[in-house]
Amino acid sequence: MQWMYGSGESGASSIQAYHAFRDHVLAAARSRPVESVVLAEGATLAAPRFIPCGDRTLAVVLDVDETAIQNLGYEYDEALRGRSYDEGIWARWEQTGGNAVLPMPGAVTALRAVRAAGVTVIFNSNRVSAYAAQTAAAIEGAGLGPARHRETLWLKGDVGAGSAKDPRRAAISERHCVIAMAGDQLGDFSDLFNVRELSLPDRRRAATSGRFAQMWGNGWFLLSNPVYGPGIRGGFDDVFPADRRWTDPGAGH
């Protein structure tokens, strides 16, 4: 949290991502790409394929939490009380916390430029459908709106019941050609990265090699979030490659 919410480094990282996002979107809006950056049905990690754009209107899709907005109030409460994530508290946060957020650095000016280029800005979040009005107000209060439920704001419960985002991306893609996506979790780009059988090293390998490696900064834009999410897990064997270990030769002397 010190790095994420307090450091100039994380602020710089966010601005850098949004600069790349804006530049990519403005260039893609001029050239009208043939393919969306949303994976097509039937795509796999080994054989990625993207949805053809046809003549659908251009859009970008962003996650909300720690992508568009900083949940400062919630994280403050969590840190102060020394607690971990709690579903009930998060639900109350969605309902009442809208004034205790800030936009991610760089997001406001980037989204303004994207909209000025005629590209629709759509949010795809796992906040729940029941609090759509409060989430829209939080987004708009941070200067990132407009956000209209089921048009430019898609939430958990809108398409199916679960937290998978692919069904919502498919629904968005029926009307739009998505030329960029932004998120802080790999699931903001494809649910394929959240398959339970995927080991942590294989997940990292999938995201950083082959076709997917080319996507970063080039249609897919990652906001660094070391505070929470599926990236914050794993034991020693998952995190540190077995062939890159070292023992201090001075230890115990």
| Contact positions with its own copies (CB under 8 A) in 211-230 | 213, 216-218, 220-222, 224-226, 229-230
* d(C-alpha 96, C-alpha 135), whole Å: 10
* d(C-alpha 81, C-alpha 78), whole Å: 5
Site for its own copies in 168-187 (CB under 8 A): 184-186
Q: How far is the CB of 148 from its own copies (least distance, A)?
A: 25
Q: How far is the CB of 23 from its own copies (least distance, A)?
A: 8
Q: How far is the CB of 178 from its own copies (least distance, A)?
A: 18
Site for its own copies in 4-23 (CB under 8 A): 4-13, 15-17, 19-20
Classify residue 149 by its DSSP letter: B
* d(C-alpha 104, C-alpha 67), whole Å: 7
Site for its own copies in 62-81 (CB under 8 A): 72-77, 79-81
Residue 207 makes contact with its own copies by CB under 8 A = yes
Residues in contact with 219: Cβ distance below 8 Å, sequence separation at least 6, in sequence order: 24, 28, 37, 179, 180, 181
* d(C-alpha 190, C-alpha 185), whole Å: 9
Cβ pair 118, 58 in contact under 8 A: yes
Per DSSP, the three-state class of 47 is coil
User: Considering beta carbons, is residue 129 or 194 the nearer one to its own copies?
Assistant: 194
Site for its own copies in 29-68 (CB under 8 A): none
> Could you give the string, one character per residue 96-125, with x where binding to its own copies holds by CB under 8 A and - elsewhere?
xx-xxxx--xx-------------------
